Each structure stands twice: as C-alpha cells, then as structure tokens.
Amino acid sequence: MLDTLISAGIIVFEPLGLFLIVVGVLVGIFVGAMPGLGPSIGITLLIPFTYDLSTAHSLLLLVSLYMAAEYGGSVSAILVSTPGTSAAAATVMDGYPLRQKGFPGQALGISLSASSVGGLVGVIALVLFAQPLATLALQFGPPAYFAIGLFGMTTVASLSAGNPLKGLLVACLGLALATIGIDPISGFPRFAFGQMELFEGVPFLTTLIGLFALSEVFMIAERKLSSRKFEEKLTHIFLSRKQWRELTPTMISGGIIGTILGIVPGVGGNIACWIAYDRAKKRSKTPEEFGKGAPKGIAAPEAANNATVGGAMIPLLALGIPGSPTTAVLMGALILHGITPGPQLFSEDPGMIYALFIGLGVCVLVMYLLGSLTLPWWARIMSVSDSVLAVAIVVLSTVGAYTLRSLVFDIYITLFFGILGYILRKFRFPMPPIVLAMVLGYLIESNFRTALLMSRGSYSIFIESPLSLIFIVLSIGTFFWPYVSRRIALRKRSSRS
C-alpha cells in the first residue's frame, strides 16, 4: 500500500508528470475559454499525443485538461460575456457585470479561487467516498431524475431578476425549445421540420452563445462608444483575507452541489451551476446585488462546475460507466490504452488510481498558480474598447458555433438566438430561465414518460421512490416558501402591534 502510494507519488512529481500537468492545465484553460472547444473536444485533440505515454501519465494530462477547462469557461464568460463551456453560463450573470464595472481582474480572481476550492471539494469526495457515492448514483431511477429536474425548475423564480411572470414566460419558451428533436420515447423527430441538423435537438451551447454573447453585441452597438479605462490595479487579483472569509462558505456549498450533481449520470455542470447560483442568491443578505456583479454570484457556479469533475469521475472509476460527455471521452482514451475502467482497477492497478488521485490534487494547485500568473495578462488584453470587444464577440461566437459540429447551420442558429435574445432583453425578459428550462426540459420530459412507462401509467411511482419523493417535497417547499414566510412575517407583525 505504502509502496504503491510512493511510486504513484513519483509518477506525479517526476519532471515528466509535472510537465504533463502544466501542459494539461494550460491547454485546458485555452480550450475552456474558446467557445465551441470545451473539455471533451480538448481531450480528443490530445488523445493522439498520449499514445506513446504510459496510461498513468496520459491520465494526468487529460484530467488536468478537464479540470482547467471547467475554469477556462469562466474566462470568456467574464471577459466577453460568452460562456466558453455550457457549465459557465451562470458565471456570465455576475462575472460580466463586474467586468463592465471595471474590475475584470477581480472577477477572474474570484472565479479562479472558487474553481480551485470547488475542484478540491470534488477531488476529496472522489478520493474518500467514491464507492458509497457510486452506490448513491445507482439509486437514481427515472422518477428521481424527473424530480431533480422539477427541483431545478423552482430556481426559475429567483433567476427572473425581480419579474417572476416574465421569467415564467421565457421558461415556457425554453421548455418548448427542448421538445424539438427526436422524441425520446417514440424515437421520431418532432418539430424538426425535416432538418436533420435538428434531430438531436436545438444544440445547447450554440443557443447559449446566441442568447448571451451575440445579443450583447447588439446591446453594445446601440450604446454610445466609450473607451473606458480600467482603473483596477493588478494587486486586486488575489483575494483579500476578508473576501476569502466571505466567499469560502459559498465556494464550499457550491462545491458540494457540484459534486453531487456531477455523480448523477446525465445531470452534471449545466444544471449544477444554476442550482449553486440560486442557493447563493437565496442565502445572501443582499440578493438584489445578484446580476449586477455580486462576488458570490461568480464564486458559487464556478465552484460547482469544477466540483463536477471529481463527481463525474466517481461513476467512471467505481462503476466503469461514464456520467458525462467528457468522462465518456476519457473512458475512450483509457480503452485505447488497453484499460477497461471499472471497480476492478482499484485492486488490479492501484498505482494508477493513486497517481490519478494525487495528480488531481496537484492539478488544482497548478491551475491556481498558472491561473494567477496568466490573470493579469488576460485582464490586460481584454481591457479593450467596446468596438473591439463587439467584433471579438462576433468572431468567437460564430467560430465557436461552427466548431462544435462543423455545421454552417449552427451559425444560423446562433444568429437567430442572438436576435431573439436582443429582443427579449429589450423587453426586459431575463435570459437564465430559457437556458435552464432548455436543459431541464429534456430531463423532465424523458424521465417523466419513462417512469410512467415503467409503472404502466400509474403516477404513484413518483411517491414510491424515496429519492423522487424527497425532491418533489423539496420542490413544493421551495416553490411555496416565499409565500409562507411572508405570511409568517405578516402575522408576527400584526400580533406585535
């Protein structure tokens, strides 16, 4: 045991191991920041370079990339309002406003710190509780997935920026968009109008880029051009002790949410970032600051999406089943190296597993260090005038939309959603509910119908499964809590007078 631990340590800390982690982190930040590339494409790009490396070394390179890409997604989300990965969508909400206020370094610093803390939370969960948590993942059947989706929908109200009715309207739009594509139960295309590009549904990241990034270009185009100077000094980039004290609880709770949702196959960062954001907002004493550059609004989703890395590795290692698109690619890489992921690895090749665990921990540290070193650089090249910014966003968005599937059709989708997003923003409709409903719509619909197929039409299946019952009760509670708490407050006041 100790011997394997030491030899695993040697693999990680010998020059080659550290070099691979550094390369993985640098490439990861880059692919994360480029919309359309992302962690899974990043890994496929690097697979050919790993053929001559040992499996443990290849794993170090690839997981470092995965971890850093989840942070990298926030860089473009903050600087150019373009989420680089779909799990960075929630980071746009407060990251971009904070940048607009003139604190890009500050926003990036919070994101980097939160990503590191969240990443560590996920890794610790992976190292200590992989087996019991994997058993938990098995308990989630279709009714429980449905209930999680429902629970996710309760966050729509708080994501609606003070206008729940408008929030609800756009959420319905998102749900409607989610029905486009091949019907998960009957297997036939719905509302695809014969466009084979739509068979797999409206591509999510493409929509995201349109709604958040392109619509921002139109907003910029309308504004009077200003060549704002960023007054921020570079010393702001490391968080002060006071900020750490304020933000650490948010980061840890975001990390826990991310880990748990990362474990559940098929849920992951896209949903975790919004739920973590919602939690942070609800627990905040100043929820009105959210959406205007609140530090907690950056810390929570960023901690959550990095924590999903450790979380998603749990079913991969403990069950041999990938829980996310990125772990599916990672599993492919392992198989190409002649290794079948699964629980038997813990006894057959413990050295590699230990090297992976140590490597993940080291990679979070390296990510923090390298991230800090590159921060001033990012912040400086991005402190450009609005006219340059607008052009940069257009280029990044269209290239990103195209790279994802190499389809020109996707560029039109981005353009469509850019215009739609602009119109909606003009009428002060909030954006997040559409995005959230699009992710959750499929989860809710397919699992609701699958559950009913399983129970042959009986709705009691949603109450009989304990996990589903818990989440349904939680959803109802969260939905009605604001009304109940207001009632209680009113009654207290009236009884006092």
Partner 1 sequence: MNRYCLIPRKATGLLIALVVCLTMVIAPLQAHAEYPEKTINVAVWSGAGGALDIYGRKLAEMVSKEMDWTTKVENRPGGSGSVGLSYVMSQPADGHTWLIFTGTLATGIARGLIPFTTDDIRFVRAMQAEPTSLAVRKDSPLKSVGDFVEYMKAHPFGLKVGGHSSGGFHQFMLFQLMEQGGFEAGWVPHDSSGKVPINIMGGHIDAGMMTPSSGLAQVLSGDIRLLGISLAERSEFLPDVPTFKEQGYNLDDSIWRGVAVKAGTPEEIVAKIQAALDKVEASAEWKEFMLQRKQENPKLRDGAFRALAEKQIKEQRNFLEKAGFIKK
Comparing CB distances to partner 1, the nearer of 145 and 290 is 145
Q: How far is CA 193 from CA 181, 182, 184, 263, 439, in A?
A: 9, 11, 17, 36, 21
471 forms part of the interface with partner 1 (CB under 8 A): no
Span 85-144, contacts to partner 1 by CB under 8 A: 137-142
Comparing CB distances to partner 1, the nearer of 197 and 386 is 197
CB of residue 44 to partner 1, shortest distance in Å: 5
Comparing CB distances to partner 1, the nearer of 73 and 433 is 73
- Residue among 70, 67, 33 nearest 382 (CA): 33
x/- site string to partner 1, residues 444 to 463, per CB under 8 A?
--x---x--xx-x-------
Which among 60-68, 224-232, 342-350, 394-402 is the span making contact with partner 1, rule CB under 8 A?
342-350
Comparing CB distances to partner 1, the nearer of 238 and 346 is 346
Comparing CB distances to partner 1, the nearer of 319 and 366 is 319
Span 391-430, contacts to partner 1 by CB under 8 A: 405-407
52 forms part of the interface with partner 1 (CB under 8 A): no
Which among 19-27, 322-330, 371-379, 417-425 is the span making contact with partner 1, rule CB under 8 A?
322-330
Which residues pair with residue 189 across a beta bridge? Answer: 182
Q: What does the block give as tokens for 315?
A: 């079913």
200 forms part of the interface with partner 1 (CB under 8 A): yes
Half-sphere exposure of 277 (CA within 13 A, CB side): 38
182 forms part of the interface with partner 1 (CB under 8 A): yes
361 forms part of the interface with partner 1 (CB under 8 A): no
Q: Which residue in the set 188, 193, 427, 483 belongs to the binding site for partner 1 (CB under 8 A)?
A: 188
CB of residue 458 to partner 1, shortest distance in Å: 12
CB of residue 73 to partner 1, shortest distance in Å: 18
Residue in the block written with tokens 């890395």: 309
Q: What's the rounded Cα separation, in Å, for the pair 417 and 209?
A: 8
CB of residue 186 to partner 1, shortest distance in Å: 6
Question: For partner 1, how many residues bind (rule: CB under 8 A)?
Answer: 56
x/- site string to partner 1, residues 220 to 249, per CB under 8 A?
------------------------------
285 forms part of the interface with partner 1 (CB under 8 A): no
Comparing CB distances to partner 1, the nearer of 93 and 313 is 313
Comparing CB distances to partner 1, the nearer of 10 and 454 is 454
Which among 43-51, 238-246, 351-359, 415-423 is the span making contact with partner 1, rule CB under 8 A?
43-51
Which among 122-130, 234-242, 323-331, 362-370 is the span making contact with partner 1, rule CB under 8 A?
323-331
Comparing CB distances to partner 1, the nearer of 225 and 453 is 453
292 forms part of the interface with partner 1 (CB under 8 A): no
Q: How far is CA 81 from CA 311, 396, 397, 418, in A?
A: 27, 11, 10, 12
CB of residue 74 to partner 1, shortest distance in Å: 23
Residues contributing to the site for partner 1 (CB under 8 A) = 40-41, 43-44, 47-48, 51, 137-142, 182-189, 196-197, 199-200, 265-266, 315, 319-322, 325-332, 335-336, 338, 340-344, 405-407, 446, 450, 453-454, 456
